[in-house]
Amino acid sequence: MAFNIEENLSYISGNNYPQEYLVALEVFIVLIILSRVFKFVILNRLKKASAATKTELDDLPIKIIDSIGWPFYIFLSLYISLLFVKIQDYFQTAMNYILFIIVTYYTIICLQNIIDYGAKKISSKQKEEDKYVIDFSANLLKGILWAIALLFILSNLGYNISTLIAGLGIGGIAIAFAMQNVLGDIFASFSIYFDKPFKVGDFIIVGKDMGTVKKIGIKTTRIQSLGGQEIIVSNKDLTTSRVNNYKRMKKRRISFSFGVVYETTSQKLKKINQIIKDVFDKIPMAELDRVHFKEYGDFSLNYEVVYYVNTGDYNKYMDVQQEANFAIKEEFEKEGIEFAYPTQTVLVNGQK
């Protein structure tokens, strides 16, 4: 029996002629070839071209396109090729759903690349200690995108997501109550980042604790105390406490007192004011505010000195105070002025 090609091509199989299947196969093969050419030739050339430019802005769209994997190209080629044949309604519906899921998936992947690019650009302008908030925000935003995508897919698949959203809302409230301390610390870290009451390297005092800020995390802040031990304080406690930040101090006000013996003559007492002024005039970082003979003490004539140091650095302040103490001691020795110390005079029969 002779083989008749025309009769075989006219034979209907599955509501389609064999030549329709051949056309669909040809379309599929052509689309796969075009996809490979685009993926491995055109896209690679675009990568090289963008690498040669100084700007990074053209890298983003290329990275987004490159993040689309082969499952997308293969299924898209299959979907388009099947348009040339007649298929069952349930199969077409399944293909539509699969295409929708794949498109949604790669849309989220592309949006993630945009978020990562934005986070990277913002982080590059921030200090190392501030990058934790940017990274956390980017991850949180990506998590929200995936949650929205899941609800979007379920909604388009015909599921009633109103009950699911209501359940998630109730569950979210319960979780929020259970994790309110953790969430409070996380939100406090955002407050610290945006308000910046202190930063890494600042010397702060919180309650009875003091030290240098070493790390600001999502939940806690680590402080290196003067004694050397590490103090870990929750961010919530830091935002609800009174924090003294000495690193932000531009000018430090210092008040100190000293006393001289009662035997000091009035003439020498009056010289003390000028001596103190001359001493502080020779100290570059110090600015004298006032010096006064303050009071008659139990065993001394007391003076009060107030001055400013034009720095917030504690070590430099102590250097200034030390220099002033040495100079005052030297000048008093030259003038024969004696510092007082606790003494007691006993009178016997009206005689000393």
Shortest CA distance to 274 belongs to which of 197, 312, 217, 331?
Answer: 331
pLDDT value of residue 321: 94
Contact 80, 31 (CB under 8 A): yes
CA-wise closest residue to 223 among 235, 189, 184: 235
Question: How many angstroms separate the CA atoms of 21 and 88, rounded?
Answer: 15
252-335 architecture in CATH? 2-Layer Sandwich (3.30)
pLDDT the model gives residue 15 = 67
pLDDT score, position 344: 64
Alpha-carbon gap, residue 264 to 283, rounded angstroms: 27
CB 156 within 8 Å of CB 93: no
pLDDT at 10 over 50: no
CB 164 within 8 A of CB 154: yes
Q: How far apart are CA 189 and CA 132, in angstroms?
A: 10
The one-character DSSP state at 53 is: S
Q: How confident is the model at residue 268 (pLDDT cuts 50, 70, 90)?
A: very high
How many Cα atoms are found within 13 Å in the side-chain-facing hemisphere of 286?
A: 26
Local confidence band at 95 (pLDDT 50, 70, 90 cut-offs): confident
Which range among 29-38, 56-65, 103-112, 134-143 shows the weakest confidence by mean pLDDT? 56-65
Closest CA to 21 of 99, 95, 86, 91: 86
Q: Given a cut of 50, is residue 9 above it in pLDDT?
A: no
Q: Give the best-scoring range by mean pLDDT among 60-64, 88-92, 263-267.
A: 263-267
How much is the average pLDDT of 28-41?
A: 86
pLDDT of residue 12: 45
CATH class of 189-245: mainly beta
The most confident of the ranges 140-149, 199-208, 212-221, 317-326 is 317-326
Percent of the chain whose pLDDT exceeds 90: 21
Q: Return d(Cα 78, Cα 27) in angstroms, integer.
A: 9
Q: How far apart are CA 26 and CA 14, in angstroms?
A: 19
Helix axes 131-156, 89-124, angle to 10 degrees: 170
Q: What is the mean pLDDT of residues 15-31?
A: 81
Average pLDDT over residues 277-292: 93
Instruction: Answer whether residue 186 shows pLDDT above 90.
Output: no
Residue predicted with more confidence, 211 or 49: 211
Q: In what order do the strands lie in the sheet with 230-234?
A: 230-234, 220-225, 209-216, 203-206, 243-245
CA atoms of 277 and 254, how far apart (whole Å): 15
Residue 290: predicted pLDDT: 94
CA dihedral 121, 122, 127, 132 (to 10 degrees): -110
* Gap between the Cα atoms of 54 and 129, Å rounded: 28
Are the CB atoms for 312 and 248 separated by under 8 Å?
yes
Quickly state the pLDDT bin for 171 (edges 50, 70, 90): low
**219 CB contacts (<8 Å, ≥6 apart)?**
182, 185, 186, 189, 234, 235
pLDDT, residue 232, reads 86
Could you tell me where the DSSP H helices lie in 130-179? 131-156, 161-178
What average pLDDT does the structure give for the chain?
A: 80
Residue whose pair of structure tokens reads 């402080």 in the numeric block: 223
CA atoms within 13 A on the CB side of 161: 13
Span 234-246, pLDDT tens digits: 888 888 888 888 7
Contact (Cβ atoms closer than 8 angstroms) between residue 134 and residue 126: yes
Res 54: pLDDT = 72
Distance CA 226, CA 304 (A): 29
Phi-psi domain of 230 (left: phi exceeds 0; alpha: psi -120 through 50; beta: other): beta
Residue 65 has pLDDT above 60, yes or no: yes
| H or E segment and range at residue 293 | strand 286-296
Task: Please tell me the distance from the alpha carbon of residue 108 to that of residue 114, in angstroms, as a whole number.
Answer: 10
Which of 7-11, 79-83, 170-174 is predicted most confidently?
79-83
pLDDT class of 2 with cuts at 50, 70, 90:
very low
Q: What is the pLDDT of residues 120-162, one digit of tens each?
A: 877 777 666 666 677 777 888 888 888 888 887 877 777 776 6
Alpha-carbon gap, residue 122 to 118, rounded angstroms? 6
pLDDT at 276: 95
pLDDT at 172: 56
Residue 173's pLDDT is 59
| pLDDT at 188 (0 to 100) | 74
State the CB neighbour count (10 A cutoff) for residue 104: 16
Q: Can you give the pLDDT at residue 294?
A: 93
Beta-bridge mates of residue 232: 222
How confident is the model at residue 293, as a pLDDT? Answer: 95
Per-residue pLDDT tens over the stretch 298-321: 889 999 999 999 887 778 889 999
Q: Is the pLDDT of residue 22 over 70?
A: yes
Residue 197 pLDDT greater than 60, yes or no: yes
- Amino acid (one-letter) located at 249: M
Whether residue 193 has pLDDT greater than 80: no
